[in-house]
Amino acid sequence: MIDHQAMESAYAAVKSAFPGAAPKIALVLGSGWSEVAAAFEKLGEISYSDIPGLGATGVVGHAGRLLRGRLSGIETFVFQGRRHYYEGVGWEPVVLPIEMMRRMGCGTVLLTNASGGINPALRPGDFVIIRDHINLINANPLVGPHRPEWGERFPDMTEIYTRRLAELLHAGANRLGLRVMDGTYAYNVGPAYETPAEIRAYKAQGADVVGMSTVPEAVFAKACGMKVAGLSLVSNLAAGIALRPLGHEEVIAAGEAAKPAMRALVEDFIARL
């Protein structure tokens, strides 16, 4: 269950750091995506370690800073990195960014990540616009006493990823000439990569990519009535499809190579809002 006092303390810290802030969109940057923050006019910044309940990230490629920025005239809160459930500290730091944005009146979130490609049409460097997901971990951040401010007790998940936002991402990718496809994201808790047998099972279930994030934030945001977009960079081929062992270094390297495309796609997306 989520510690609600941690939520209160985190919100108070961010409001104190950014008085008068009114973000229209939140951007969560996953592994390899942190440099996208350079596209924004900087209005302020705070370290995750200075936000109660959030804390420093424990993964290479996650800067661990919250940027208040502006792009195309739109005030945006940019979370440079995320906390993961596999870090063993519960759901609070995972969904805190979404809860803080909800409290600040932000109605839209773009969640990014790096993933392993399962669909044979994918190759490293491709982008996948997430249209649906499969939660493989049998856990949900909404478990616990019902909080009316988080929506209904049994929120509908028919369309978690807002169709209009996905269409905006598609339009931008097409204009930029990027390789992109719609896909279903399979969420594995990690931190171990999947086995070849698991990847075969996920493929049979309809998954196109697999990763260790995004789904908890998406579920929480949808329940709270936010509009959600999901964008994944295929950083490697999944186990059994790849011809070599998997490692996080490959994820970081793919993010480095894709920096210009990642930044251009996010800039285009925000300009279209």
Q: Is 84 a catalytic residue?
A: yes
Cis peptide before 191 (omega within 30 of 0): yes
Q: Which of 39, 212, 229, 258 is catalytic?
A: 212
Q: Is 62 a catalytic residue?
A: yes
Angular region, 55: left φ>0, alpha ψ -120 to 50, beta rest: left
Q: Is 213 a catalytic residue?
A: yes
SS3 233: strand
Q: Is 212 a catalytic residue?
A: yes
d(CA 82, CA 134): 20
Q: Which of 13, 39, 63, 114 is catalytic?
A: 114
Q: Is 114 a catalytic residue?
A: yes
Q: Is 133 a catalytic residue?
A: no
Q: Which of 10, 35, 48, 62 is catalytic?
A: 62
Q: Which of 236, 239, 258, 262 is catalytic?
A: 236
Nearest CA-CA partner of 235 in 176, 193, 177: 193
Q: Is 248 a catalytic residue?
A: yes
Q: Which of 37, 84, 238, 250 is catalytic?
A: 84
d(CA 178, CA 167): 14
Q: Which of 8, 45, 87, 198 is catalytic?
A: 87
DSSP letter for each residue of 239-258: TTTSSS---HHHHHHHHHHT
Q: Which of 34, 213, 232, 235 is catalytic?
A: 213
Q: Which of 17, 248, 257, 267 is catalytic?
A: 248
Active site residues: 31, 62, 84, 86-87, 114, 212-213, 236, 248
